[in-house]
Amino acid sequence: MKRYRHKTRVVKIGNVPIGGSNPVAIQSMAKFKTSDLERTLAQIKSLEACGCEIIRVAVKDDSDAAAIKKLKAGIKIPLVADIHFHARLALAAIENGADKIRLNPGNIRKEKEIREIVAALKAAKIPLRIGLNSGSVQGTHVSAGSMSEKLVKSALSYIRTIEKLKFHDIVISLKANNVLDTMQAYRKIAKLCDYPLHLGVTATGSPVKGMIKSSIALGALLLEGIGDTIRVSLTEDPANEVQACRAILESVGLRHFGPELISCPTCGRCEVDLSSLVRELEGSLQGFKKPLKVAVMGCVVNGPGEAMEADVGVAFGKKEGILFKKGKAQGKVSFGSCARQLLNEMEKL
Amino acid sequence: MKRYRHKTRVVKIGNVPIGGSNPVAIQSMAKFKTSDLERTLAQIKSLEACGCEIIRVAVKDDSDAAAIKKLKAGIKIPLVADIHFHARLALAAIENGADKIRLNPGNIRKEKEIREIVAALKAAKIPLRIGLNSGSVQGTHVSAGSMSEKLVKSALSYIRTIEKLKFHDIVISLKANNVLDTMQAYRKIAKLCDYPLHLGVTATGSPVKGMIKSSIALGALLLEGIGDTIRVSLTEDPANEVQACRAILESVGLRHFGPELISCPTCGRCEVDLSSLVRELEGSLQGFKKPLKVAVMGCVVNGPGEAMEADVGVAFGKKEGILFKKGKAQGKVSFGSCARQLLNEMEKL
C-alpha cells in the first residue's frame, strides 16, 4: 500500500537526509551539561547504540560551544546545537562543527544577529531548525489567536525573514505541551510550506504520560503523512526517548527495527508466567535484526491463530505449549525451554 | 469546541451507560484464575481504586462461572464475563449475575446455542459484546480479504444473526494485533452500524510497545470521534492498563482525572534533578482531584512561559526557581521545598 506523505524538500543534517521520501529520522537530546565531556560523550554513544540517528545538545555558554568540536570527534551521528538567547553561541557552534543549529524565534530576534547566523550557516553549508515551543512563543510577540495559531504565525514570520536572506535549508518544529495544540499546529504549517517537519510534544510530564501524549500526537500526524524527523520528549533517560521513537515508527508501519513481539495481556485463562517470558524474549531479541514476527500467547482462544500468523510462535495451554513455525505446528514445547526454542527457530529462518 | 462523535446507541453495563454522549468508559481485565476468589477480588478492588469502571473476568470453567456471584457481592463496578467455546458457561455467568457477556464469533457459532444465550440475555436484561480478535477470526470462516475486512465481515454476520432474534443490546470490538488493521476495522464498522464500540489493540507485545500501539490506535480513533469504551491490553499488571486508559482519554481531551503535570525533558541547561521532582509530584498528586495544571520546568528557555500558563508552576534557574501562580510570579523557591510549596498553593486554589 502506497501511503500519502506530505511533500517536503530534502535537508541534510550531516550524513542524514530528512524530508522528501527519506525515512523519518529519530532524534534525542543529551541531558548532561554539554561541557561535561565525559558524561555527554558516554550518553551520546549509548544513544547511538540504541538507535538514535541525530543528537542535539544544549549550548548554554561558551564552554558548551567549545565542547562541540570534541564531541564531534567522538561520535558518529550528526550533532545539532540548541541555541537560545545568544547569537554568539550559534556562531561559535557553527565554527566548532555543529551539523545543524536550532534557533528559537522566541528569544533570538534581532535582524542583525539573524543575518550573521544565516551567513555563517551558508558558509558552513548546514541547515537551521526554526524551533517554536509553547513555553517561549510569547517572546515572538505574536499574541493573537489559539496556541497553534501563535506557533504557526511565529514560525512563518521567522521563515519569511530567513527566506529574504535566500536561505532555505530549514526544518521546522512547533511543539505545544499537549496533543491537540501540537497536532493542530503541524497540520496547519504542513499546508503552508514544504520545509521538513520535526515533530514533538514538549513538556509532557511524567514519563508514562509523556510517552502516551507523544505516541498519540506523533502517531496520528505520521499516519496523516506529516513528519520527517521525530523526538519524544520524556523527563527521564533519553534512551527511553529513542526506544519510544522506534516503537512509534514501527507501530504506524513506517520503519522496522528487528522482530515484532506479539503477546496477549493474559487473563484468568493463562496458566504460565507469560509476562516473565515476554521480558526475557524482549531482552534476547534486542540484538536480532531480522524483521520476524514472534508470538507468545497464553491460551487456546487467540493463541493458535496468532502463533500461526507469526513467523514463529507458541500458544500455551496447561504449562506447555504448541510451537508453530510459518503457520505449521511443530510439536509441544515446555515453558522453560520456550524462549530458547523460539530463538533457535528464528536463527534458522 | 464541540467535537464530532460517531453516533451510537446507548447500552447499559450495570450502572455504567456507554455509547451516545456518555463518557468513554475505562475497562480492564482481571488476570488471575477467576475462581481464585481471594486474588481476583483483591485485584478488582485495586483496579476500582485506580479508576477502572468496568471489569472483565475470564470464564474458563464452571468454577469461574460460580465465582461471579461472590465477586459481584464484593465489588462496585459492573462485571463482564468473557466466554469462549462453551455456551453453557455463558448461561451460567448470566445466571450468576454478570452485567454483560462477551462472546467470540470465532468459537461460539451454533445457532441453537446463540438463541439460548440471547434468550437468557433478554431475560436478565443485560447486554452482549460481540468481540472479534485477529487471533480467532479464522474460526468465523470468513477467509476473504484483509484482516480488517475479515473482522468487520465476521462481526456483521454475527450481528445479523443476533438482530434476527430481536436483540440490539450489543457492543462491538474488533481487535487486531497492530495499529493499522485495528484502526481500519473500527473505521469501517463505524460506518456500518450504530452499536457502541469497545476499542482495543490485542496481543500488543512488551508493555512499553503495547502502551505505544494502544495510544496511537485508540488515540487516533478517539480523535476521529470513534469509541465508547476502551481497554489497553498490556502483558503486565492491569493497573497499568487503567493508568494508560486514563492518560489516553486525558491526552485527547475527552476526560480529566485530576491535575495535569507539565515538565520539560531536561537538557544540558537544567541544573536541578527535575526527574526526581516529577516522580515525587506524580505520587503526591494521585489523590488530588482538582483539574489544575502544574508546571515544573528546568530552565529559563520555556520555564517561565509554561509556569505562567499553568495554574501553579516553577521555572528553575540555578538550584532555585521562581514560583508562579495564575500567571504571576510569587517569588523564589528552593528545589527542596518546591513540591511542598506547589501542593500548598494547589490546595488554596
Closest Cα in chain A, distance from residue B348 (Å): 22
Average pLDDT, chain B: 96
- Chain B hits for A28, CB-CB cut-off 8 Å, are none
Long-range interactions of B301-304: CB distance < 8 A, separation 24+: B301/A84, B301/A85, B301/A104, B301/A107, B301/A133, B301/A135, B301/A136, B301/B269, B302/A133, B302/A134, B302/A135, B302/A136, B302/A202, B302/A203, B302/B264, B303/A135, B303/B264, B304/A135
CA-based nearest residue to B289, from B312, B321, B257, B319: B257
Interface test with B, best of A80, A302, A314 (most B CBs within 10 A): A302
- State yes or no: pLDDT of B210 exceeds 90: yes
A302/B269 touch (CB, cutoff 8 Å), yes or no: no
The per-residue pLDDT for range B77-110, each reduced to its tens digit, is 999 999 999 999 999 999 999 999 999 999 999 9
What pLDDT, on the 0 to 100 scale, is given for residue B286?
84
A33/B268 touch (CB, cutoff 8 Å), yes or no: yes
Estimate the crossing angle of helix A87-95 against helix A111-124, to 10 degrees. 10
Interface test with B, best of A137, A147, A263 (most B CBs within 10 A): A263
- Chain A hits for B150, CB-CB cut-off 8 Å, are none
Question: Which of A32, A183, A266 lies nearest to residue B235, judging by beta carbons?
Answer: A266
Taking residues A103-121, report their average pLDDT. 97
The per-residue pLDDT for range A249-262, each reduced to its tens digit, is 999 999 999 999 99
B253/A32 touch (CB, cutoff 8 Å), yes or no: no
What pLDDT, on the 0 to 100 scale, is given for residue A141?
87
**In chain A, pLDDT over 90 holds for what percent of residues?**
94
The per-residue pLDDT for range B107-125, each reduced to its tens digit, is 999 999 999 999 999 999 9
The per-residue pLDDT for range A268-294, each reduced to its tens digit, is 999 999 999 999 999 999 878 888 999
- State yes or no: pLDDT of B288 exceeds 80: yes
Q: Which residues contact A238 (CB under 8 A, 6 or more apart)?
A: A28, A29, A30, A31, A43, A47, A52, B265
- State yes or no: pLDDT of B143 exceeds 90: no
C-alpha A255/C-alpha A220 separation (Å) is 15
Taking residues A48-77, report their average pLDDT. 98
CA-based nearest residue to B175, from B167, B184, B166: B184
- State yes or no: pLDDT of A319 exceeds 90: no
B210/A262 touch (CB, cutoff 8 Å), yes or no: no
C-alpha A190/C-alpha A307 separation (Å) is 41
**Strand, coil or helix: A131:** strand
- Chain B hits for A251, CB-CB cut-off 8 Å, are 178-179, 209, 212-213, 216-217
Residue B318 phi, psi (nearest 5): -80, 110
**Strand, coil or helix: B231:** strand
- State yes or no: pLDDT of A43 exceeds 90: yes
Closest Cα in chain B, distance from residue A218 (Å): 8
Pairs across A and B, CB distance < 8 A: 273
User: Residue A314: beta bridge partners?
Assistant: A296, A323
pTM score, whole prediction: 0.97
For B76-133, give the DSSP string.
SS-EEEEE-S-HHHHHHHHHTT-SEEEE-TTT---HHHHHHHHHHHHHHT--EEEEEE
What pLDDT, on the 0 to 100 scale, is given for residue B289?
86
- Chain B hits for A243, CB-CB cut-off 8 Å, are 208
Closest Cα in chain A, distance from residue B201 (Å): 10
The b/e string for A90-107 (b: 16+ C-beta within 10 A; e otherwise) is bbbbbebbbbbbbbbbbb
C-alpha B100/C-alpha B281 separation (Å) is 38
Question: Which of B134, B220, B240 lies nearest to residue A305, judging by beta carbons?
Answer: B134
- State yes or no: pLDDT of A165 exceeds 70: yes
**Strand, coil or helix: A212:** helix
B133/A302 touch (CB, cutoff 8 Å), yes or no: yes
C-alpha B323/C-alpha B296 separation (Å) is 9
- Chain B hits for A297, CB-CB cut-off 8 Å, are 135, 203
Confidence of residue B319 (pLDDT cuts 50, 70, 90): confident
- Are the CB atoms for A177 and A204 separated by under 8 Å? yes
CA-based nearest residue to B259, from B203, B189, B312, B182: B312
C-alpha B178/C-alpha A253 separation (Å) is 9
Pairing of strands A312-316, A320-325: antiparallel
Closest Cα in chain A, distance from residue B194 (Å): 24
Side chain identity at residue B226, one-letter code: I
Confidence of residue A220 (pLDDT cuts 50, 70, 90): very high
| Alpha-carbon dihedral angle through residues B218, B224, B227, B228, given to the nearest 10 degrees | 130
**In chain B, pLDDT over 70 holds for what percent of residues?**
99
Task: For cell 454475527, name the residue.
Answer: B158
For A239-282, give the DSSP string.
HHHHHHHHHHHHHTTS---S-EEEE----TT--S-HHHHHHHHH
Taking residues B328-332, report their average pLDDT. 95
Taking residues A55-77, report their average pLDDT. 98
What pLDDT, on the 0 to 100 scale, is given for residue A1?
54
B202/A261 touch (CB, cutoff 8 Å), yes or no: no
ipTM of the prediction:
0.96
C-alpha B108/C-alpha B140 separation (Å) is 9
Confidence of residue B223 (pLDDT cuts 50, 70, 90): very high
Closest Cα in chain A, distance from residue B316 (Å): 13
C-alpha B117/C-alpha B94 separation (Å) is 9
- Chain B hits for A33, CB-CB cut-off 8 Å, are 268
B269/A60 touch (CB, cutoff 8 Å), yes or no: yes
Taking residues A107-116, report their average pLDDT. 97
What pLDDT, on the 0 to 100 scale, is given for residue B237?
95
For residue A148, how far is the Cα from the chain centroid? Answer: 21
CB neighbours (10 Å) of residue A21?
9
- Chain A hits for B56, CB-CB cut-off 8 Å, are 267
Taking residues B241-245, report their average pLDDT. 97
A252/B31 touch (CB, cutoff 8 Å), yes or no: no
Angle at A62 between CA A60 and CA A169, to 5 degrees: 70
Taking residues A305-309, report their average pLDDT. 95
What pLDDT, on the 0 to 100 scale, is given for residue B339?
94
B223/A220 touch (CB, cutoff 8 Å), yes or no: yes
- Chain A hits for B64, CB-CB cut-off 8 Å, are 268
- State yes or no: pLDDT of B253 exceeds 90: yes
Q: Chain B residue closest to A177 (CA)?
A: B262
- Are the CB atoms for A200 and A248 separated by under 8 Å? no
Average pLDDT, chain A: 96
CA-based nearest residue to A212, from B347, B170, B260: B260
**Strand, coil or helix: A10:** coil
- State yes or no: pLDDT of B1 exceeds 60: no
A235/B31 touch (CB, cutoff 8 Å), yes or no: no
CB neighbours (10 Å) of residue B143?
9
Closest Cα in chain B, distance from residue A1 (Å): 12
